[in-house]
Amino acid sequence: MNIKQTLKENKSLFLKKWFQATIETYPKDSARILGKDANRFDNPVGAITRESLENILDLITDKYSEESLEKALDPIIRIRAVQAFNASEAVSFVFALKKIGQGILDDSHQRQFDPMVDQIALASFNKFMKCKEEIFLLKATESKRRVHRAFERAGLVAELKENDLLGSKKS
């Protein structure tokens, strides 16, 4: 059986353990609540985390690219990028997969699995930086975009156009 088939067969076990490990990156009292399988609108972090992890597992049992990995990682990283994690804490959940693999896979599969986890990790760094850049851009341009644009339309300010102030691109 190849690694992808093995992962597919053990998907629910991987998902259960990976979800648990990810939720445990939150303080204990929070993890207790965020880890509940509640209505997705009552517990968005739990629900989105679970979905995101499942999508990533589905992806690596099939064909995937850096781009498709980033897309699958987007919902979970988008959340972790605005929580009080530092960069390493925000993406640490990916590395938990290696340890989970050790308990499920045999050695030869584990050797194939580790580089896959590395690829997920690299994609998660990319996604994390993109989310942070979006946040910085929102910080830099929000008030200008809201207030300055209205003033500019009214002809109350004339020197600089909105685009000059916003820089190269919209987030």
Partner 1 sequence: MSKELTPDEALDKINFTPKSGNWMDTTPSVQIKPGMYCYAAKADSVKTLGLPNARPWNPLEEDWKLPENWQEILHQGIKERLEKFRTFKIFMDVCVRCGACADKCHFFLGTGDPKNMPVLRAELLRSVYRNDFTTAGKILSKIPGGSRLGGGRPLTMEVLKELWYYFFQCTECRRCSVFCPYGIDTAEITIMARELFNLVGLNIDWIATPVSNCFKTGNHLGIQPHAFKDMLDFFVEDIEEITGVDCTPEYQKKGADILFITPSGDVFADPGTYTCQGYLMLFKYLKDKYGLDVTWSTYASEGGNFGFFTSHETMKRLNAKMYAEAKRLGVKWILGGECGHMWRVIHQYMDTMNGPADFLEVPVNPITGTVFENARSTKMVHITEFTADLIKHNKLELDKSRNSNRVITYHDSCNTSRGMGLLDEPRYVINNVCDNFYEMPSNTIREQTFCCGSGSGLNAGENMELRMAGALPRANAVKYVHEKFGVNTLGTVCAIDRAALSTLCEYWVPEVEVYGIHELVGNALILPGEIKRTQDLRMEPLPGMEEE
Give the footprint of partner 1 on this chain (CB under 8 A): 26-30, 33-34, 38-45, 48, 78-79, 81-84, 134-135, 138-140, 142-143, 145-147, 149-151, 153-156, 171
Q: What are phi and psi of 97, to 5 degrees?
A: -60, -35
Closest separation in Å from C-beta 142 to partner 1: 6
Name the residue nearer to partner 1 (CB basis): 25 or 68: 25
Closest separation in Å from C-beta 155 to partner 1: 7
Name the residue nearer to partner 1 (CB basis): 42 or 118: 42
Within a 10 A sphere around the Cβ of 112, how many other Cβ atoms?
A: 15
Name the residue nearer to partner 1 (CB basis): 48 or 96: 48
Closest separation in Å from C-beta 127 to partner 1: 14
Name the residue nearer to partner 1 (CB basis): 113 or 128: 128
Residues 2, 23, 135, CA angle at the centre, nearest 5°?
A: 100
Residue 140 to residues 52, 131, 136, 164, Cα–Cα distance (Å): 29, 14, 6, 13
Q: Give the pair of three-digit tokens for residue 103.
A: 């308990």
SS3 for 38? Answer: coil
Closest separation in Å from C-beta 136 to partner 1: 8
CB contact at 8 A, 129 and 120: no
